Structure 1
Amino acid sequence: MAGTDAAMNRRLEGRSLTIAMYGNLFMAAAGVLAGLLSNSNAIMMDGLFSFIGFVSALLGRRISRKVTAGPDRFRPFGYAADESIFVTFRSLSLLGLVIFAITAAAQNIYRYMTGVMPEPLNFGPMVLYFVVVGATCVVLWWSHRRAWIRSGRSSDILRLESRASAFDGVITGASGIGLTAIHLLSDGPLAPIAPVGDSIIVIFLCLTVIGQYFSGLRAGLGELAGVTAPPGRIASARRALRPALAEDGGTLRDLSVTKIGRGYLVTVYYDPGRPVTAGEIDQLTLRLIRDLQPVAPGSDVLLIITGYARRWPAEIDPLRSTP
């Protein structure tokens, strides 16, 4: 049953990412074309965001096919960390684009302040672009979110892509509203900034989303660095595993929980208090994994038989003790 659910989740994820791949490619082409025709840096930036979304969906689809694969001789800890790598570099690429867009817009404003007049905007292609691309963003957001919910809210790839589509839609809508306002009020109170209103909107929009992308980068780096999970997650894992360990009769020396992709790795430092066979440890490990699934689906357990916690005492640690 679990295998069937996992296969269905992979199909849902793959279908959503395929839709995103073609949808973002269409929006990227539309953004570049509309940006060239309208002389709008804001629309051009929107198109570049969509192109990153296309590459992201392409890579995400490949990663999702193997992310639940078990260990093999090439990847002794499995492929779950690929999702963390994806989130990290997706966020990093978006941050790079945001910084580039802010720099280009600031340079455009500086040139205007020094007397260099930018090319006037052509508002003709903008209306069609904002309507079509805004609707496409809504469709992609709905597709990702629906697949994320139906697959048990476990896929970081779908969650990130859903947020990216939502932000892309917000950026597109805000750009349309801002550029329309500048166009309508260019002979009134906004006349002094109308020639660089496009660049001002780019900076504003970039500053709006930069925090979200930085948060994604920090979360991805935290997973790759093995940062411990939130206290609530640790407490729920401890409660789930406690009955099996109590029934076995040993002593739980320590427990650590780290997030890896869409699941968690729970490391249990356990002293059985008696001689045990490999078969007994295997059976206990399998039960711990089963008991963990209701609170952390797709998570794994590493059972370490030891009389100590996660760190050797200083007096016996060969890396810290002196001869």
Structure 2
Amino acid sequence: MNTQAEDRANHMKRLEGRSLIVGMWGNLFMGIAGVAAAILSNSDAILVDGLFSLIGFTAAILGRRVSQTAEAGPDRIRPAGYAADEAIFTTFRSLSLLGLVLFAITGAIMNIVSYASGGAPKPLVFGPLIIYFAVIGVTCFLLWGMHKWAWSRTGKKSDILRLEATAAAFDGVITAAAGIGMVGIVLLQDTALSFITPIGDSIIVLILCSTVVTRYFSDFMKGLGELAGVTADPEHIAKVRRTVRPALAEAKGVLTDLSVMKLGRTFVVTVYYNPGRPVTAAEVDTLTLRLEHDLAPVLSCDVFVLPSEYGRRWPDDLNPKLNPKGLPEN
């Protein structure tokens, strides 16, 4: 059984690694193509697209390394294990994307203000854009499909693959919407709205980035919450509570408190348990292992069983920080 579990874990890790490698080179190709097309066409929207892909290339390099160690257990260097690396990666990946989106929004607003003040933006050159939209749109779709497939095949546990799939989808949406917007600019040239065509590129950037800024901010805050130790979603807590009840009932103890925290693809479950009788270290270890086996089909988690009659927080009259002399009597 252990061999089968290890083989499955290694297979999942290989799937994730291959997906990230392909994504890495795909993003490098799209980044170089985007910057080159932006220079040739004078398009800020395409430049944002290219920079977005270059950030994806760097993120894929780091993400692959993190994915290889995310499920490694505790050791001398990392006594709490390596699960936090994934939360750190996704947090700063979201922050980098959020920063790029805000930078693009600021640049678009400045271009629009400059045009309103009498400035003349560089005219767009549409020739290189046609090839760019076709090639990059297909590439984004393939990367999204690959990341989504790998994420599903690996149990939908990898926040790295989930975020990369989202990033590829957004990159594709930007490319498609920018292409449609460029066509719209051409069609508006001989109409009453022709006055906006010189800043049509900036308007496209502003609209596209405004639609995703809240998503990336949400991802950033979610990752920040994991690093800060914020409690997991109520649905996860409910699953854990239902799952641990049979083992605790057999142990004839009382569940005094339960905490569940998400850290990357791993959950940290702390069971505060009052056995109501003297117990040995071996009994606590046996209960811990039982709970880990019971929870394995539900969550990828590390379980800690703490014999305690109080739970996660000392009562105020015993808390040394609030009442230094309030020690319990023997």
What is the TM-score when the length of structure 1 is the normalising length? Answer: 0.98
Per-residue deviation, 1:99 = 1.0
Q: 1:134 maps to what in 2? A: 137
Of the three residues 264, 286, 291, the one matched with 2:267 is: 264
Per-residue deviation, 1:322 = 5.0
Of the three residues 10, 17, 24, the one matched with 2:20 is: 17
Q: 1:33 maps to what in 2? A: 36
Instruction: Please tell me the residue identity of whatever aligns with 1:32.
Output: V
Of the three residues 295, 306, 309, the one matched with 1:307 is: 309
Instruction: Please tell me the residue identity of whatever aligns with 2:88.
Output: I
1:78-137, CA deviations, whole angstroms, 9 ceiling, x for partnerless residues? 000111111110110111111111111111111111111011000000010000000000
Equivalences for residues 30-69 of structure 1 within 5 A: 30-69=33-72
Verify: 1:280 aligned to 2:265, yes or no: no
Q: 2:11 maps to what in 1? A: 8
Q: List 4+ stretches of structure 1 deviating above 3 A.
A: none
Per-residue deviation, 1:23 = 0.2
* Alpha-carbon separation, structure 2, partners of 1:314 and 1:5: 48
Verify: 1:89 aligned to 2:92, yes or no: yes
* Alpha-carbon separation, structure 2, partners of 1:189 and 1:288: 69
* Alpha-carbon separation, structure 1, partners of 2:13 and 2:309: 40
What is the TM-score when the length of structure 2 is the normalising length? Answer: 0.96
Q: 1:239 maps to what in 2? A: 242
Of the three residues 150, 154, 157, the one matched with 1:154 is: 157
Verify: 1:205 aligned to 2:236, yes or no: no
Q: 2:328 maps to what in 1? A: none
Structure 2 unpaired stretches of 5+: 326-330
Instruction: Please tell me the residue identity of whatever aligns with 2:304.
Output: L
Instruction: Please tell me the residue identity of whatever aligns with 1:90.
Output: R
Percent of pairs with identical residues: 60
**RMSD (Å), alpha carbons:** 0.9
Instruction: Please tell me the residue identity of whatever aligns with 2:132.
Output: Y
Structure 1 unpaired stretches of 5+: none
Q: Name the count of aligned residue pairs.
A: 322
* Alpha-carbon separation, structure 2, partners of 1:307 and 1:74: 32
Per-residue deviation, 1:189 = 2.9
